[in-house]
């Protein structure tokens, strides 16, 4: 089981293309700061605007840079089961340790369709799969009952829960059992999900503060709730600034640009942060001592 704080990496762009040099530097910095794992090509990585060739090339690049020092969990989800199989097989061929698969979006499958989608990819791709449940982006919620069924499918090993419901997280843990990993998919709920028995967090804010999120995960999983509370209270204003002003990953990539880690460049339909919100992000970074 992969545990701790895993960073949902941004994808740096320069002049419209992936900035592989900046990605190398980001990954090396993440590892040096103590992150427990990295997740390329998720929604924070703007995977929706990557071509299939770019997607697989970026996964392969991150695996090569990491050199087995931490787990690489590659984003490989799609609303097409055949496409998800292709991407997951590609991630396996590149040497990824696991795949993070967003639930099919837009086509809004039934619970049976969601179950069959993941079961088909798990059978075809032979890579450990972490389900990604984020109804705010997919327009469908994976029920605890469906996750309980998926927990019995070989190679389906966990779920990234971003429903915003702690009750659903606990229901999922009860339905799936102790060997099924539940990760916080919402930075603001990291503390209570870990305290409830979560395996870790797949974090956006950890792009900016990997050391602190790793310390938070380590402390709470070790039972040091007082240390966890102290860290979460310190992180709270930064999480709010990066996650609530504009849609992810606009806030976190803007923060990384302020820190000199990558260019402030997005692919349409995402656009640069407004000047008013940029000022709020910069203030939060300064308060934390990051710029």
Rounded CA-CA distance 121/141 in Å is: 19
Residues 6+ apart with CB under 8 A from 236: 188
Look up residue 157 and give its two tokens.
């090993």
Q: Residue-wise over 54-81: b if at least 16 C-beta within 10 A, else e?
A: ebbbbbbbbbebbeeebbbbbbbbbbeb
User: At residue 191, does pLDDT exceed 90?
Assistant: yes
Question: Alpha carbon of 284 to those of 52, 227, 252: distances in Å?
Answer: 36, 22, 12
pLDDT digits (tens, 9 = 90+) for 259-286: 999 999 999 999 999 999 999 999 999 9
Q: How confident is the model at residue 1 (pLDDT cuts 50, 70, 90)?
A: confident
Question: Alpha carbon of 121 to those of 9, 56, 90, 222: distances in Å?
Answer: 23, 17, 12, 34
C-beta of residue 88 within 8 angstroms of C-beta of residue 99: yes
Q: What is the average pLDDT across 174-188? A: 96
User: At residue 72, does pLDDT exceed 90?
Assistant: yes
List residues bridging with 181 in a β-sheet: 158
Question: Alpha carbon of 55 to those of 42, 77, 102, 203, 249: distances in Å?
Answer: 10, 11, 15, 20, 17
User: At residue 168, does pLDDT exceed 90?
Assistant: yes
For the chain, give the percent of residues with pLDDT over 70. 100
Q: How confident is the model at residue 126 (pLDDT cuts 50, 70, 90)?
A: confident
User: At residue 186, does pLDDT exceed 90?
Assistant: yes
pLDDT digits (tens, 9 = 90+) for 26-60: 999 999 999 999 999 999 999 999 999 999 999 99
User: At residue 241, does pLDDT exceed 90?
Assistant: yes
Name the active-site residue from 160, 183, 211, 253: 160
- Active site (annotated) includes residue 132: yes
The overall average pLDDT reported for the chain is: 96
Q: What is the average pLDDT across 12-21? A: 96
C-beta of residue 145 within 8 angstroms of C-beta of residue 175: yes
pTM: 0.94
Q: What is the average pLDDT across 9-27? A: 97
pLDDT digits (tens, 9 = 90+) for 88-122: 999 999 999 999 999 999 999 999 999 999 999 99
C-beta of residue 88 within 8 angstroms of C-beta of residue 116: no
Half-sphere exposure of 97 (CA within 13 A, CB side): 20
User: At residue 6, does pLDDT exceed 90?
Assistant: yes
Name the active-site residue from 132, 183, 253, 261: 132
User: At residue 166, does pLDDT exceed 90?
Assistant: yes
The predicted pLDDT at position 184 comes to: 97
The predicted pLDDT at position 291 comes to: 87
Domains annotated on the chain, with CATH: 4-224 (3.20.20.70)
- Active site (annotated) includes residue 108: no
């Amino acid at each position: 089981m992969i545990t701790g704080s895993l960073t949902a990496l941004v994808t740096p762009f320069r002049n419209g293309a992936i900035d592989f040099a900046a990605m190398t530097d980001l990954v090396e910095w993440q590892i040096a700061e103590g992150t427990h794992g990295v997740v390329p090509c998720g929604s924070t990585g703007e995977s929706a605007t990557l071509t299939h060739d770019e997607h697989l090339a970026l996964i392969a690049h991150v695996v090569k840079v990491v050199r087995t020092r931490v787990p690489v969990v590659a984003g490989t989800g799609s609303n097409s089961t055949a496409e998800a199989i292709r991407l997951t097989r590609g991630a396996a061929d590149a040497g990824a340790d696991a795949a993070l698969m967003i639930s099919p979006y837009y086509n809004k499958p039934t619970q049976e369709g969601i179950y069959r989608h993941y079961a088909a990819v798990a059978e075809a791709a032979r890579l450990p799969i972490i389900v990604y449940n984020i109804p705010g982006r997919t327009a469908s919620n994976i029920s605890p009952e469906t996750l309980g069924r998926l927990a019995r499918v070989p190679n389906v090993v966990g779920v990234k829960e971003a429903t915003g419901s702690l009750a659903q997280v606990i229901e999922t843990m009860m339905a799936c059992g102790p060997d099924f990993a539940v990760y916080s998919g919402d930075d603001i709920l990291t503390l209570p999900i870990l305290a409830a028995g979560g395996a870790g967090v797949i974090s956006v804010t950890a792009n900016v503060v990997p050391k602190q999120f790793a310390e938070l995960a380590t402390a709470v999983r070790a039972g040091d709730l007082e240390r966890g509370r102290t860290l979460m209270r310190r992180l709270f204003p930064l999480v709010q600034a990066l996650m609530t002003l504009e849609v992810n990953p606009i806030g976190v990539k803007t923060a990384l640009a302020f820190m000199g880690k990558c260019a402030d460049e997005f692919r349409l339909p995402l656009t640069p942060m407004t000047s008013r919100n940029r000022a709020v992000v910069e203030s939060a970074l300064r308060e934390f001592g990051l710029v």
